[in-house]
Structure 1
């Protein structure tokens, strides 16, 4: 029995008719869709085609103008319009090349030549043995040179005073000498003599003749001393000649004859040992700037060594350690300890 909805087998339909019927159904569905859209939009204008026209209209939205220095966004960007980026502003990392200019010479001012900035050398310190009234001593120096004219440093058995100026140094030295204080100091550099050595000169040459011959060459002699052997104390054929500081001091090396003798002038060798005072027998200063009580080098008595009445046969007594040797003995335990401390320092 045949069904009302009988199905038709596509295999029995020819191939050409099968594709044509499919195209017909697609066209009918397209017309149905277009008619529905036309009914919603309004009455059709002209004939409706089977194909939808997707060509864009010539009417476009007004393009937004971007602010100066700002890149337009997607809505305002146009592929046909070239976007010009503003020039970058220089930052701190941007290198700026500048052409150096030649310095202009300034005319000298009306103030005259520049002031002399050469400072005078500082005066040496003054070492004073312990004073009884330290407050009264400082007030006396304050009244003499002023509060800024000196300063003190206290040590174990002495007070070290450092003057501020050479004038203050001389005034303090005068005050200490008149007050009979026990102290020692050093020579000011500006007052230091220019020392040279005259070799090959007989030790019996008169000092007055040496002084006269040197001064005839245009120099001012401060002192002449015959050198002695450090151990035997025998006179040596050389003299130390001290000249007053002058611009022509170096010309003394041109002298070749002194009192019928051919001599050679040299600079003195630097001493490697520790200097010892022949007045108080202490170290690191000389008798020329020592105002301490005298001590004998042989008997340790409180008198000058030149006035000692002790015989040569009597054993000596050291003024430093008390042993049986002179105070200038280089194997003295005080000297050896000081030498070791100086070497290690």
Structure 2
């Protein structure tokens, strides 16, 4: 910031710098220095007033640029602890305003993995000194902590570059097509192109687009869509899957999906049941099902690589595969005699029945 506390403005393009600098001079915009940075010119204005004037000028002539927020415009961010997760954001804001924080902006924080609301609230304000005087909200004792900085570099979701955010970016947008799908990078992988989208919304849009044009592809499940899998121990093998599901739903596991496990060799049902849910924390609170004491264990990962039963490739599953089906090439030459015997036996059972 060149010692002035005013952030630099990165103006795209260097060819017409002379005419642009004359325009700045005619508007009375003063700057301490300007230097080239790749294909841009980095301008250090003298004062916040000069900074605002230059930003307004660049926006008026629709010149691509990016910059950073002025220190005086930044809002202090604090995390509120001590409130229940069910607390209304509007009620918190009203309470803060009544205690002198007129510019308070409040939002509830969510879990990165489950996306569920946490009993934590973020408040933004330019009056942190007044915030330090507040001890109660909604008659509850609370504490305010500084928001921890992320270890990951910030990325602009407008131009896809790193080091700044979209709030102060006016560079050209990088979109996949008119659908507005944004991605950070794409690279070749054999006969395919591997695309890394920016957000879950972009991922879903791209999947929908590829399905609509019937383009072959495969992908993996979004982390937020994955269901936690637990094995239920302590129930008899004769127990109905529907009864288990009804009991789980009655105890708060509304999204429970239950199936009975079978033996790999005999294919007979085992006294083990698999439950899938996005609420593993609630599952941990359950101790009884059908009046029987049960335990929940994490499902062990298979040592064998996953195989897609649609395209027969390894490394992904058929759930997220839209490649061509390999039905005629289901068995290799080595497996073919065994497959023929199995199929013949199945036909033989039909013949003799």
Structure (1 or 2) with the larger CA radius of gyration: 1
Structure with greater strand share of residues? 2
Q: Provide the TM-score with structure 1 as the length reference.
A: 0.48
TM-score by length of 2: 0.47
